[in-house]
């Protein structure tokens, strides 16, 4: 049985991936900037904080990560850590680049020089593409990043491809499009909308401030997507795969669905804030995950309406926040 190391185990994807691996009886190690359980709420919410062997370690710390891989004979590494907000990257471009690109290079070099039998799954992003270059996006679509976050992800994904092609490293990228869950931080738009609606339903008189609600995105269910990561890293050869639902829906549609769930006109309580408008925002994003379906046998099992319902139930108390089903 191969031991698994999740770099960034405390995030949404890291926690669900750990839970999925543990459910299959796998040995799971994780890194986080802290070992304090109070700072690992996602693991606690999923009830796996005692089962994951967490080490305090920054994603840049190649020495500590190399020691973990060697000491525990780790053969599967998932690199999920890094700044994950497109909006924040515009205000912190240097930190975003360093936090995304440097860890990828560190881990790839560790595998190349010391652990040639270890496989890497890199969490890429559909943000690297630009709608102006044509859709739906596939693995062959040209990278045309329009944010510091997208530029950093593009650079890291290119490093994965370089190490795979030039050095024979088993490294693949999951090109992830938007994926949500009750573990998603409220700084992201869907949990922001739903948490505000839940407060309004309980009497809050607040107004919800949003950016451009006319943009269309491909939204999916995070527990689905970590299963795709596992299939990529266990595939017979390393490759990149678009992981998406294949459907696009607007933020305005999210508002309408959430309003119907809570029983009031949520759109009447929303306002556009110029401060939340991004310097660049693709109006429509559509992805084509057909390669993942044909090669890996993976497809998104939760569609848009069901996704919004599950999230609303979690915020309204109708389902456990950490549910994976």
Are the CB atoms for 5 and 78 separated by under 8 Å? yes
70 catalytic? Reply is: no
If residue 222 lies in a helix (H) or strand (E), which one and from where to where? helix 222-233
Distance set, CA 308 to CA 194, 254, 304, 311 (Å): 9, 7, 6, 5
Angle at 33 between CA 78 and CA 13, to 5 degrees: 35
Structure token digits, residue 81: 């850590």
How far is it, in rounded angstroms, from Cα 142 to Cα 133? 7
Catalytic residue, chosen from 16, 149, 225, 315, is: 149
225 catalytic per annotation: no
Collapsing DSSP states into helix, strand and coil, what is residue 289? coil
Which residue of the set 32, 84, 89, 125 is catalytic? Answer: 125
From the candidates 89, 127, 154, 163, give the one annotated as an active-site residue. 127
315 is catalytic: no
Kindly list the distances between the CA atom of residue 209 and the CA atoms of 212, 299, 304, in Å, as whole numbers in the listed order: 10, 34, 23
Q: Tell me the catalytic residues.
A: 125, 127, 149
């Amino acid at each position: 049985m191969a031991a698994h190391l999740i770099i960034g185990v405390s995030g949404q994807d890291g926690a669900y991936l750990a839970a999925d691996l543990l459910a299959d009886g796998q040995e799971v190690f994780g890194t986080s900037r802290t070992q304090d359980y109070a700072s690992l709420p996602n693991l606690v919410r999923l009830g796996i904080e005692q089962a994951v062997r967490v080490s305090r370690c920054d994603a840049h710390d190649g020495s500590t990560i190399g020691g973990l891989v060697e000491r525990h004979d780790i053969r599967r590494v998932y690199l999920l850590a890094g700044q994950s907000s497109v909006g924040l990257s515009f205000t912190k471009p240097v930190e975003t680049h360093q936090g995304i690109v440097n860890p990828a290079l560190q881990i790839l070099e560790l595998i190349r020089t010391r652990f040639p039998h270890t496989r890497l799954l890199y969490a890429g992003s559909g943000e690297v593409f630009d709608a102006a270059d044509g859709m739906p996006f596939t693995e062959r679509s040209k990278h045309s990043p329009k944010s510091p976050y997208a530029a950093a992800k593009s650079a890291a994904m290119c490093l994965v491809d370089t190490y795979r092609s030039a050095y024979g490293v088993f490294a693949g990228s999951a090109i992830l499009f938007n994926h949500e869950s009750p573990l998603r931080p409220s700084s992201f738009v869907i949990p922001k909308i739903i948490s505000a609606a839940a407060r309004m339903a309980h009497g809050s008189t607040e107004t919800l401030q949003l950016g451009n609600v006319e943009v269309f995105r491909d939204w999916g269910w995070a527990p689905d997507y970590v299963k795709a990561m596992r299939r990529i890293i266990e595939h017979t050869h390393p490759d990149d795969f678009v992981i998406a639902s294949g459907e696009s829906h607007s933020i305005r549609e999210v508002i309408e669905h959430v309003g119907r769930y809570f029983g009031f006109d949520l759109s009447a309580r929303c306002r556009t804030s110029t401060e939340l408008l991004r310097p660049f925002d693709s109006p429509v994003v559509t992805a084509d995950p057909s390669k993942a379906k044909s090669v890996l046998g993976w497809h998104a099992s939760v569609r848009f309406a069901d996704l919004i319902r599950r999230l609303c139930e979690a915020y309204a108390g109708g389902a456990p926040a950490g549910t994976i089903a």
